[in-house]
Structure 1
Amino acid sequence: MSLKFVVSPAFSAYSDAVRKCIQNFWSTGKVLASGRNTIRIFDIDGLQVNIKAFKLPNLVNRFAYSYFRKSKAQRSFEFATKLLQMGIGTPKPIAYSEHTNWSGLRESFYASEHLDAKLTYRELVEIPDYPDRDNILRQFTRFSYKLHELGIEFKDHSPGNTLILEDAPGQYSFYLVDLNRMEFHDKMPFELRMKNLSRLTPHKEMVATMSNEYAKASAEDETVIFETLWRLTAAFQHRFHRKRRLKKKFLFRK
């Protein structure tokens, strides 16, 4: 088996320790999330390291990731580095590792500095009376507008993929996670900007608040923003729930 390990120069002193954590990933560390991908937290001399193990790709992708496309781990590492250079928050990238054999990519891991965030956008969706909710939502919208102005299309801009930290009373900072699907544009057209926000919430009142704040930031017409964003949100929700119904029906028949 061939092994590839790349570490950020900023964390070169931790290189051997991080490599060891990856080698022993499945038997050590504290599980943070499991399922399609697995995330474990490791303590290295007081540094909290978040390591994500991506699921085994299918046979076609194993080959593609080995010869034609960058792996999800490599893309996460490189996109995180680029985001920080552009002034966008994301946990600091530490390293990535790829394990390949004759069939192509077998395992890949992405290590980053762990942020202990208790809040994501998801809580704003699920808890209508969350403290300071309107203010957080408006600051999040400003953050999203900044992404769009920089030409950053975060394709997984969904409720659980932005960590939110309170820096001071009423002041929040935002950190993108799950970075392997991103695209960078010279300029993002209006429809693409609205589509980028359409997966965040099914609640019309949240869409209205975001439309109001986006209009303030962009000087675009608020009514046009709301009508476009709500149309795209409703279309996404329709596809999402239809897919779930079909999946449930298929599983029931099995």
Structure 2
Amino acid sequence: METRLIINPQYKHLKDEVSAILGGNKENSSDSILQSGRNLVTIHKLSDGTKVVVKSFKNPNFINTIAYRYFRKSKARRSFEYATILESKDIGTPDPIMYKENYSALGLKDSYYVSLLIDADLTYRELTTDFTIPDHEAILRAFTRFTYKLHTREVNFLDHSPGNTLILRKGNSDYDFFLVDLNRMVFGPMNFKTRVKNFAKLTIHKFMIEIMSNEYALCTGEDEDAVFRTMWYYTRKFQHKYYRKIRIKKTIFFWKKKYKDRVSKSPI
């Protein structure tokens, strides 16, 4: 089996210990599990006290096994390289430590991305569920300014969604924001439609859209009504598409649930 491992020179002293984690059972060796299922995300405390996050990408399907070897960069590699680009643009993201790809004779077998743990106070997701947060509006406006910063530095974060921004309070209505889940980005100039559409996945709540559109108009000097109408339009369009996809999946794969129910009721 062929292996490719690239490490950030700043963290080369961690190479052996992190490599040992990647070569073993990530769940058993972790201090906690942030996410399981499609991709496994675990936290590990190293011997020097450093805490790292390991994202283990699921084994790709047959087509992507070949594509990720010959035609496309793996998700782990993109995450590492995009984190490096973000840091060069002074945009917050957990420090990239390394990525690792394992190849079989056919193509990519599995891949891993390792970054420094950010001990965040909350994520954007909490803003969509807990409206009693005392500085809720201040965070939302600061987040909007952060998104404007992304756009002015030509970063189109395609997964700009509630769980992918970590928020760290600094006091006096000052906040740091860190992007995670980085493997889908486009770099380059963005027109009005593309920039405003970038908010579409963040919330279903109209009052939050009103606050963000107001702040974004203040940042850009663009017409606030036009910003709001466009932002709300793409928010509703995304929600319609999202729930339509869920309904279709439930319709197509309804037999899976019936099969599971039948098996669970089987006396054997």
TM-score grouping bracket, smaller chain normalisation = over 0.9
Q: How far does residue 131 in structure 1 lie from its aligned partner after superposition?
A: 2.1
Q: How far does residue 232 in structure 1 lie from its aligned partner after superposition?
A: 0.7
Structure 1 runs (4+) greater than 6 angstroms displaced:
none
Return the match for 2:218 from 212, 216, 219. Answer: 216
The secondary structure found in structure 2 opposite 1:220 is coil
Q: For the residues of structure 2 that align with 1:236 and 1:226, how far apart are their CA atoms?
A: 15
Q: How far does residue 180 in structure 1 lie from its aligned partner after superposition?
A: 0.3
Q: For the residues of structure 1 that align with 2:252 and 2:119, how far apart are their CA atoms?
A: 38
Letter in 2 for 1:39: V
Aligned to 1:194: 196
In the alignment, structure 1 residue 9 sits paired with structure 2 residue 9:
yes
Question: 1:158-169 maps to which residues of 2 (within 5 A)?
Answer: 158-169=161-172
Q: How far does residue 25 in structure 1 lie from its aligned partner after superposition?
A: 3.8
| Contact 2:209-2:231 within 8 A present in 1 as well | yes
Deviations 1:171-218 (A, max 9, x none): 111000000000100x21000001111110111110000000001110
The secondary structure found in structure 2 opposite 1:160 is helix
Q: For the residues of structure 2 that align with 1:251 and 1:67, how far apart are their CA atoms?
A: 33
| Contact 2:82-2:182 within 8 A present in 1 as well | yes
Structure 2: 5+ residue stretches without partners:
257-268
Deviations 1:99-144 (A, max 9, x none): 0111211110000001122411111011122221000000000000
Aligned to 2:30: 29
**Residues 238 and 228 of structure 1: CA distance in aligned 2, closer, same or farther (over 3 Å):** same
Question: 1:174-189 maps to which residues of 2 (within 5 A)?
Answer: 174-185=177-188, 187-189=189-191
Aligned to 1:18: 18
Identity %: 49
Letter in 1 for 2:161: S
| Contact 2:210-2:228 within 8 A present in 1 as well | yes
Q: For the residues of structure 2 that align with 1:36 and 1:149, how far apart are their CA atoms?
A: 33
Q: For the residues of structure 2 that align with 1:251 and 1:65, how far apart are their CA atoms?
A: 28
The secondary structure found in structure 1 opposite 2:76 is helix
Q: For the residues of structure 2 that align with 1:24 and 1:107, how far apart are their CA atoms?
A: 13
Aligned to 1:146: 149
Aligned to 1:243: 245
Q: For the residues of structure 1 that align with 2:116 and 2:179, how far apart are their CA atoms?
A: 13
Aligned to 2:130: 127
Instruction: Give the alignment's TM-score, normalised by structure 1.
Output: 0.97
Aligned to 1:234: 236
Q: For the residues of structure 2 that align with 1:253 and 1:32, how far apart are their CA atoms?
A: 30
Q: For the residues of structure 2 that align with 1:3 and 1:195, how far apart are their CA atoms?
A: 39
